[in-house]
Copies of this chain bind each other. A is one copy, B any other.
Amino acid sequence: MAGRPRKFNLEAAYNAATDLFWVQGYETTSLDQLLLMMQLSKSSFYQTFSSKKNLFEQCLSRYDEQSVVDMKKALAGAPSAIDFIRTTFSQLSAEAQRPSGRRGCLIMNTVVEFAQRDIKVARIFKRNIKSTKKIFTEAVTSAQTSGEISETLDPAIVADFLVTTIIGLKSQARAGSSSKKIADIADLVVASIINTTES
């Protein structure tokens, strides 16, 4: 057993592919572009990833997992729950200053591109939304306990509201809205959940 070991960096190849899909979408990204960016021959590509579609699904899953890990880490490391929320939103405007922050959300981009017609994509989207919502629900509940968010609000709905605004803000970033504009909106979002009572 045991043959020649893989020469290229699998992680780097996935990242290169993800970056391309993230900027261009699935359909618009050609195999040639992938091979170029991933620095792979066609042979190595198909031996490792089977197909363009399969690679894409793996990139999506990895993106999902990574983003959830990042958020959990951010919540766990934050001084308070409301601080986590505040930081999450202010990061959106900071990131919008770099091209990499103007790619939107890979999963939302994909949902827009594929809409209803791909079950695997829909599954990954639902999993990601569920995980994200859970983290924000925890944060909101915690902020309610410490009195920063009104207890009259349903934490699940506030979480959905926050996720919705993040989707909107990331879309705006992809569309080219200024970092300043995104910062202003983000501030209003955070202020609104702090001051709002009764659902």
Residues of A that sit less than 8 Å from B by CB: 23-25, 27-28, 102-104, 108-109, 111-113, 115-116, 122, 125-126, 129, 153-154, 157-158, 160-161, 163-169, 171-172, 174-176, 181, 184-185, 187-189, 191-193, 195-199
Contact = CB atoms under 8 A, between A and B. Distances in A.
A76 to B, nearest CB: 26
A129 B172 CA distance: 10
A187 B199 contact: yes
Residue in A129, A166, A172, A197 with the greatest tally of chain B CB atoms within 10 Å: A172
A112 B196 contact: no
B181 A172 contact: no
Contacts of A160: 181, 184-185
Tell me the interface secondary structure of chain A in the complex.
helix
Contacts of A115: 23-24, 103-104, 174
Given A192-B192, A195-B195, A196-B195, A171 B112 contact: yes
Residue in A163, A168, A169, A172 with the greatest tally of chain B CB atoms within 10 Å: A168
A124 B171 CA distance: 16
Contacts of A23: 115
A175 B125 contact: yes
